[in-house]
Chains A and B, each alone.
Chain A
């Protein structure tokens, strides 16, 4: 197994597109082959009770805080064959160094994350990871307004589309999310002029 370099497979898409299910399928596949899988999840995601990453062996591993890539390194044992990372968009950009090291060690890295934020803009380190990856799987959800394929995540605050200037990361706050297609997605994107002024 550990001959040569590893690889990076990445699963992206909007919310409700089944990214975590796909990641779990890949994890289970590796476990059937008796490979040592380490599953990592970002601590910021506190929805553990409802959508915990849970392979059939029930192994859950919570990585340390986002600003500390060292704790992520520490969480990965030297004999891991496969490292699976969920919600990878929450990690800082320095995670690319860790992934590079793992690939050099011959580890197969599989990761899932949001490709765009609630404003429809690229999410953090995700674009970078997509170029580095061997395989990119882009999943679509179904638009909760019209039923077409959806690839954007609409944030709603009290039932209304969120404001462009809202913070990008808001887990478990007084808001909700919907998968939407390009037509039904609503955001008050400022013009280039307005953005230049602020």
Chain B
């Protein structure tokens, strides 16, 4: 069946676009929620573009995979200026919805791209970690949350006490990671655990003054 949208498409300037943020700790179901929203759009015959960061090597390069094993094919984008600009090309005129997973890994150069797509009337749904393993704001996530139309914060279950958690505890050889450790280390259950505020442990308290 020919795609009716090819000939019927009307540039969506009439209604403003939307920027939706899904955030939370690891194992809070961010990627599943992103996939759910994208699938919902596809049921309505909207065209969806899915993007992931190339850094996330847990999965096959052409897919985003949630921890429960759901898969969805995605374009892997790297941090170079060319890579970021490629999003604009990929999200050409007939794309209605753009989904981006692991947004926290992208540099701030992606912000004007996201806003440009919103100005074109597209719906942008992004998922990412709001806090790093030290419990501090992660990269561009704070800015994106301020600029967004909607922010959904998801909770995981604390691996220690079972309460709602919103921190990602990094564990190295069974011990909480050190404050000076690098921010980005890709892993899964063997190296990260969701923790609530009471059970979250970081060796050194963050120096907010130095950070801000």
Which residues of A are interface residues toward B (Cβ below 8 A)? 4-7, 12, 93-94, 96-97, 100, 103, 115-116, 120, 122-123, 125-128, 130-136, 138, 140, 148-149, 151, 181-183, 192
Contacts and interface: CB of A to CB of B under 8 A. Distances in A.
A115 B153 contact: no
8 contacts: A94-B212, A115-B146, A115-B147, A122-B147, A123-B146, A131-B131, A131-B138, A151-B149
Interface of B: 13, 15-17, 23, 112, 118-119, 130-131, 135, 137-138, 141-143, 145-151, 153, 155, 164, 166, 196-198, 208-209, 212
A138 B151 contact: yes
B142 to A, nearest CB: 3
Contacts of B15: 148, 183
Given A96-B208, A116-B146, A122-B146, A182 B198 contact: no
Nearest to B200: A5
A139 to B, nearest CB: 10
Contact of A182 (B16, B131, B138, B209): B16
A135 B137 CA distance: 15
B197 A7 contact: yes
Contact of A140 (B138, B149, B209, B212): B149
Contacts of A97: 208-209
A4 B119 CA distance: 45
A192 B116 CA distance: 14
B147 A116 contact: yes
A94 B148 CA distance: 24
A5 B198 CA distance: 6
Given A94-B209, A182-B17, A130 B142 contact: yes
Q: Name the residue in B13, B23, B118, B137 with the highest tally of chain A Cβ atoms < 10 Å from its Cβ.
A: B137
A192 B111 CA distance: 13
B166 A182 contact: no
Contacts of B112: 192
Nearest to A93: B212
A183 B120 CA distance: 10
Nearest to B118: A182
Nearest to B129: A131
Contacts of B197: 4-7, 103
A100 B207 CA distance: 11
A132 B153 contact: no
B72 to A, nearest CB: 26
Given A122-B142, A127-B142, A136 B153 contact: yes
Given A5-B198, A97-B208, A128 B137 contact: yes
B145 A131 contact: yes
